[in-house]
Structure 1
Amino acid sequence: MFILRPSCLALAAWLAVAGLPATLHPAFAEASGAGENAPADAAPEGRATDAPYMAPLARLSAILGSVHFLRTLCGDPNARLYRDKMTELLAAQKASEADRRILVASFNSGYRAFESTYRVCTPAARLAVERYQKEGSSLSREISARYGN
């Protein structure tokens, strides 16, 4: 069974404690070589792993995309932090290219879900941020507890 790397767990734990979902932008360039230095038990470049932690990581990525969009829309000066944390999560995970694409697509899907709905920051948008941050924190703790060493 493939276990999350401690660096990924540390990031997930940090996100949970800080209450910060990470973020990417739909225009995120896949500049880093995700397949480089991949572990021996990772899936080949063209195939996604069947690792049980991929579903919660994909959900976390979608939450991060949603929160990134909403925090940016609402004028949060630290909104870019969410994108940066998603980038760190991708780097720490060192997933196969296929898994990386799934996580990036999940982030982008979360971003676009709110982009298509909100044009201005509203009380409902702020409430969505609050709820997603809680879910992201809970999910980060669950990932760490369930799949950590």
Structure 2
Amino acid sequence: YSSSTGTSFIAMSDRSASDDGSDREPAKGGKGGLSCHELFLVIVGILLLAFGGVRLFFNFDYATVAHTVGLAILAFLLIFGVCTKSSMCMLIAMIFLIISLILQTVFLAYFAIEFIGLKKELTTRTIASLVFDIICYVFYILVCISTVVLRKQY
């Protein structure tokens, strides 16, 4: 028993040994598990499907159907790429994400120009839509970073 650290030798020896021979605990993802980036991408994929379904439910038109199909394809690419650990699938997802990010940047710039140029008044719906779009924009950037990191790992 070590009184200086407060841990016992028995507790240290009960840890499952990792493959490299060190006495560190294995990472929570481990073999067959998901790392933080992979778990984030799977959760984002599920959220993309949920948001697409909700948006389609409240606003059913051709543009929303096309947007929902795009979100479903992106979610499939992210989840399939994580499950198979395929670098090619992650590359396709990165290209798709970059195109989506460019389109969303153009949309936000158009929204800002239209709002400032036409001097529309602020409504609750406009503010909520803008906040939601900015949050989605930040998530797209984080997903791009995660796919780049995972592409390097695969």
TM normalised by structure 2 equals 0.38
The structure that has the greater radius of gyration is: 2
More helix per residue: 1 or 2?
2
Q: Which has the higher contact order (CA 8 A, sep 6+)?
A: 1
